[in-house]
Amino acid sequence: MSKDLHGLGVSAGSAAGPAVRLGTPPKLPDVEPAVADTGAEADRAVAALEAVGESLRSRAAAAGGQAAEVLVAEAMMACDPALATKVRGLAGAGRPAAWAVNEALASYRAMLTSAGGYLAERAADLDDIADRAVALLLGKAMPGIPAPGHPFVLLAAELAPADTATLDPAAVLAIVTERGGPTSHTAILAKTFGIPAVVCCPGALSIADGTVVAVDGSAGTVVVEPTPEQVEQAARRSAERAARLAAAHGPGRTMDGHPVKLLANVGGPADVPAAIDADAEGIGLLRTEFLFLDRRDEPSGEEQRVTYAEILAGMGGRKVVVRTLDAGADKPLAFASQQAEPNPALGLRGLRLDGLLPALLDTQLEALTLAAKDTGADLWVMAPMVSTPAEAATFADRVHGHGLPIAGVMIEVPAAALCAAQIMKQVDFVSIGTNDLSQYTFAADRQAGALAPLLDPWQPALLQLIAMTATAGRAAGKPVSVCGEAASDPLLAVVLAGLGVTSLSMAPPSLAEVRAALAGQTLARCEAAATAALAAATPAAARAAARAATEG
């Protein structure tokens, strides 16, 4: 008998196959064995950490791009000399190697967790290192992505960054997690790999390994033990989707030719080929943090210039929207000595950091100016976390003052959406960051899986703020983009076009689906879907109303 589980569909597509759970972390036995040779035990412990570091580095080399950066950072933690010293100390005092490694990493974990925000998120990396080293030392199976030798649907409580970073899209048919939200790491990386995914799905871990499940990453459903007809339906939907995607190419436009630019979200030079392959019309969000995080010192202007020029040249004259550094809160900078903040997401983050460290922005703008000159690129620059028209005006002056012609701001704070008409007078364009706009509109931490329903991008309050911003853009005759995760939902993309959004920026694998969805609707239908969604009282009603309008 088939049964349905329901979660949040965060990466489109359908697939059916046998479920396999994420490898579970090894458990230390209750009884700690006695150690005969403490020196040899210390050597064994440190060698295990080095072996973990080495395997993470080789996975990084195979993964490339954003995934490689995550893995290299984790490898550096595993081989940190201070960690080795601590482990040696514990083993030297008589603890067996696996226990010494576990305890040392647990103390680091406690420090990171109490720091909160981005550092607390790194605790998952430390757990991963501990689990891998303990598995090696105890001769147990490695935790993490299983390798059953056939394609499978991966089940997990939630995926650690290192797990998602090494997913093989050819082997993993779909992902289902019990926790996680629409903007979680799992959701973003599943989209990057183009793997259908359902998160926040209670009951997922009660499915036994080997059970066949059918996953619909658009509807957010997981059918356990589907009937042969349901399996066939998943295969048919998948084939139809592939045909639909293959048929849609070129610039984004509705069936009747209304243009909606389709742009890529990029996190570094390694992501540029995927943007080009997906036929992106440009980059709508270059997250420049990749140059700054995990660094002891600020990257020099010259290093920045070279990297920006590489990305601009790689885009071959297409439009590139660069977001200036979005540090603070969940993305703290080691070299920017910020005071500990009681509430970092509401503190000195994004453009607000400029009040403390103005040279950071000037160096970045200078490097961008030089890179644009080197490459002749169509460069647009925008600031994150802008709240008032005055902040927008100051930023635009700084950008124009460096000789960069096009300055914009992100709309991520409800205050900015509410006064979008005034902001529009100060800048050349805006881009709506729906991930943060949801977080701040609903007072719901975007990392908190339990709050995922509030962070649903179909929440009518979020749609209202987007509508206000788009209306202000239309009145001013200035472009309004959406570059948060909301842009990659094909049905929502139709609604956004209907609201008057002029471009959509997303992870490259999502572009084809959105392009096909827009090509299937006239502008009038998009507008009808937008009107219907805005009038709904709940996210589910908004979805249903929009779907009915597009089919009507």
Closer to ligand PEP by CB, 217 or 433: give it.
433
Question: Which residues within the stretch 381-420 sit at the binding site for Mg ion (CB under 5 A)?
Answer: 412
Asked if 163 interacts with Mg ion (CB under 5 A), we say no
Tell me the backbone φ, ψ of residue 62, rounded to 5 degrees.
-75, -30
Asked if 436 interacts with ligand PEP (CB under 6 A), we say yes
Asked if 41 interacts with ligand PEP (CB under 6 A), we say no
H helices present in 315-355, as ranges: none
Burial 370-391 (b: 16+ CB within 10 A, else e): bbbeebebbbbbbbbbbbebeb
Binder among 484, 500, 508, 539 for ligand PEP (CB under 6 A): 484
Asked if 433 interacts with ligand PEP (CB under 6 A), we say yes
**Smallest gap from residue 124 Cβ to Mg ion (A):** 21
DSSP code of 328?
B
Active-site annotation, residues: 185, 483
Residue 17 to residue 475: CA distance in whole angstroms: 50
Q: Which amino acid is present at 275?
A: A
CB atoms near residue 317 (< 10 Å)? 12
Query: What residue has token string 């680091």?
Result: 108
Closer to Mg ion by CB, 399 or 410: give it.
410
Binder among 433, 473, 490, 509 for Mg ion (CB under 5 A): 433
Find the helix or strand (DSSP H, E) in which 20 lies: strand 14-21
For ligand PEP (CB under 6 A), the number of binding residues is: 10
Residue 503 to residue 506: CA distance in whole angstroms: 10
Q: Do 258 and 518 meet the contact criterion of CB atoms below 8 Å apart?
A: no
Asked if 216 interacts with ligand PEP (CB under 6 A), we say no
Asked if 490 interacts with Mg ion (CB under 5 A), we say no
Q: Do 523 and 497 meet the contact criterion of CB atoms below 8 Å apart?
A: yes
Closer to ligand PEP by CB, 308 or 440: give it.
440
Question: Which residues within the stretch 325-344 sit at the binding site for ligand PEP (CB under 6 A)?
Answer: 326
Asked if 352 interacts with ligand PEP (CB under 6 A), we say no
**Smallest gap from residue 438 Cβ to ligand PEP (A):** 8
> In 3D, which of 335, 326, 329 has the Cα closest to residue 286?
326
Asked if 116 interacts with ligand PEP (CB under 6 A), we say no
Q: Do 328 and 365 meet the contact criterion of CB atoms below 8 Å apart?
A: no
Closer to ligand PEP by CB, 144 or 484: give it.
484
CA end-to-end distance (rounded Å), the chain? 34
Which of the ranges 61-69, 225-233, 434-442, 533-541 carries the binding residues for ligand PEP, by CB under 6 A?
434-442
**Smallest gap from residue 436 Cβ to ligand PEP (A):** 3
Closer to Mg ion by CB, 328 or 433: give it.
433
Asked if 436 interacts with Mg ion (CB under 5 A), we say yes
**Binding residues vs ligand PEP (CB under 6 A):** 285, 287, 326, 412, 433-436, 483-484
